Every structure is written in structure tokens, then in C-alpha cells.
Homo-oligomer: A and B are copies of this chain.
């Protein structure tokens, strides 16, 4: 059961109501009360859990949950595991999605009240929707706009002209400048959006900073992790497409063009002017050299270094990155020769 200090419980629901919400068949004991969600191994009689994979089937025998969501494919084998006092099974097409839907009901996210904290520093010309929430110490510059129901966390700093859409969540300490955010964008703590990128021109007196006159555009449903940086464009914009999710400690250089529904795992670094087409997946700690394009749906294994364009749908690995079969062959050869004691 989630710690109630951090996750206040919502209403308890009879199992019949749970079943009704999921649109599934009634259950053995429809009056049984469900108060929360929990993992298969730790759930108690007033909690509901779900069976994610067949390899967890044996755990069902000792599962003390009040109910368990299972897929049609695993229903029969699950039923064979569960004892007479075991969890009641609810069969749904996508147990994880159903579990997530119930989580939202049983453990609703705390509502952050609308309005601005007295300690926030909001420019007179900022336009804040009355349903938005502005946290303690937040600093909003001239002409900033914040849309309906958006939450600006404690000490967040939004520079002049920044636009925040509706239902966004800017966590504490994020800093945003020269940026336009769509709706439902999440910025985690300490994210830095809109910094002047790393561009210098060599001259007689050393390196001189190249002015960065572009913006950052974050489309709807983008998420940017804690400590991640998205630098603004030089003359054009740095763009992150709809629904793309970026983890913690990621660097996105100036002028990058990231497509929709990409996933970028923690500590990746994209140099300037990189293009990711839609649906690209980058594993953790990947690096991509400047001006490279990674095609639609390509997947790059963790820790790879991309130095050439990657064709759509291809999976690559290695430094430099190459088709993953070639990577595995090289590793296999290294290990085989090494084990044979051949230097």
C-alpha cells in the first residue's frame, strides 16, 4: 500500500464497482472492499494487483491481494494457481493499463490549489490563467503566459516572454527562457530549457560566444527529466515533438529537431542540429554527433556513440554505432579469443 504520508488514499470501492469501471464480468465476492493498489508480492486483502508476465504466475499461489487483474491469455493458468482464499481474478485485455486506471481512482494525485503564492514574483504584464497554480518563490518575467490548470513549482524561473500551455507541470527549480510550451508538458526539477547553446567562434582574442537567437519549442505531452538541458536554437528553433519523453540528465544541443513519440533515456547527449525522426528510442548514455539524422523508429542501444546517419527502423549499438549484429559479433570474438588466452 502506498505510504499515506505521500499518497493520500481516495475512496474505497467495492469489487463490483471496480469490475464495472473496467467493463468486466462480476466476481466471486462483489462486496469485497478495495482501498488501494499494490505489487503482486506485497498486496493485502484490501488491495488490487496485476499479473504482468507469465513468469510471475507462481507468485500467485501465495498472493494475498483481494483481487488481481489478468490477461485472457493467462487466465486459465492463473486460476490454477490461485487457492480458494486467493485473489479474485478480473480478466482484462491490458492488465497494466487497467491497473493504471484504477490507480488514478484509488490514489488520485493531490490537487494543487489554484492561485499564486504570496512569495511568488510575477511581472505585472504576465498573463496567468486563474486556474493555474504559482508556487512559492516562483519568478515569472514580463509577458509570460501560463495556461489553464498549469502548475509552476516552487522557485521555478520563467524568463520574459515564455509561454506555458494548459495542464503543464513545471516542477520546483526548473528554469525556462526563450521557450514556447504546448499543453500537458512536464518539466522536472532543475531542468534548464532555453539556455544559449555552446557555440563559439575563434578569433584573435580567443573564443567568442555566438549569439543564440532561436527558441525552444516543446510540443504537447512532452516530458523533460530532472537536470536535463534543452538549449535554444542559434537562428532557428530547437524542437521537441509531441509526446516525446526525455529522462534525467540529458543534454539536447542547439537546433536539434526531435520528432514525436521518441524516448530518450537518462544521460544521453545530442550535439547540435541532430535530427531524430518520430518514434526513435535512445538507450541510456547514448551520444549523437552533430548534424546526424536517426531515422523513424530506429533504436540505439545504451552507451552507443552515433557518428553516422541511422536508417529508419534499424537497431544499432557500439562506439561508433553500427547494426547491432555487427556489434554482437565483435563482442563475441573478443570474448572467445580472450577466453582462449589469445592476446
- Residues of A whose CB lies within 8 Å of any CB of B are 2-3, 5-7, 37-39, 42, 94, 96-97, 100, 103-104, 107, 109-110, 117, 119, 121, 135-137, 139, 143, 153-155, 157, 159-161, 171-173, 175, 177-178, 188-190, 192, 195, 198, 200-201, 203, 206-211, 213-215, 221, 223, 225-227, 229, 231, 234-236, 242-243, 245, 247-249, 251, 253, 260-261, 263, 265-267, 269, 271, 284-285, 287, 289, 302-303, 305, 318-320, 322, 325-327, 329-339, 341-343
Best-buried of A42, A223, A225 by chain B (most CB within 10 Å): A225
Contact of A263 among B110, B200, B234 (CB under 8 A): B200
Specify which chain B residues have a CB less than 8 angstroms from the CB of A334 in the assembled complex: 326, 329-330, 333
Q: Which of A236, A245, A303, A336 has the most CB of B within 10 A?
A: A303
Instruction: Quickly give the copy total for this chain.
Output: 3
Contacts of A337 in B (CB 8 A): 329-330, 333
Interfacial chain B residues near A339, Cβ < 8 Å: 326
- In the bound assembly, the distance between CA atoms of A271 and B334 in angstroms comes to 26
Question: Interface of chain A, helix or strand or loop or mixed?
Answer: loop
- CB pair B139–A245 under 8 Å, yes or no, is no
* Contact between chains at A320 and B329 (CB < 8 Å): no
What's the nearest-Cβ distance from chain B to residue A127, in Å? 12
Residue of B nearest to A198 (CB): B247
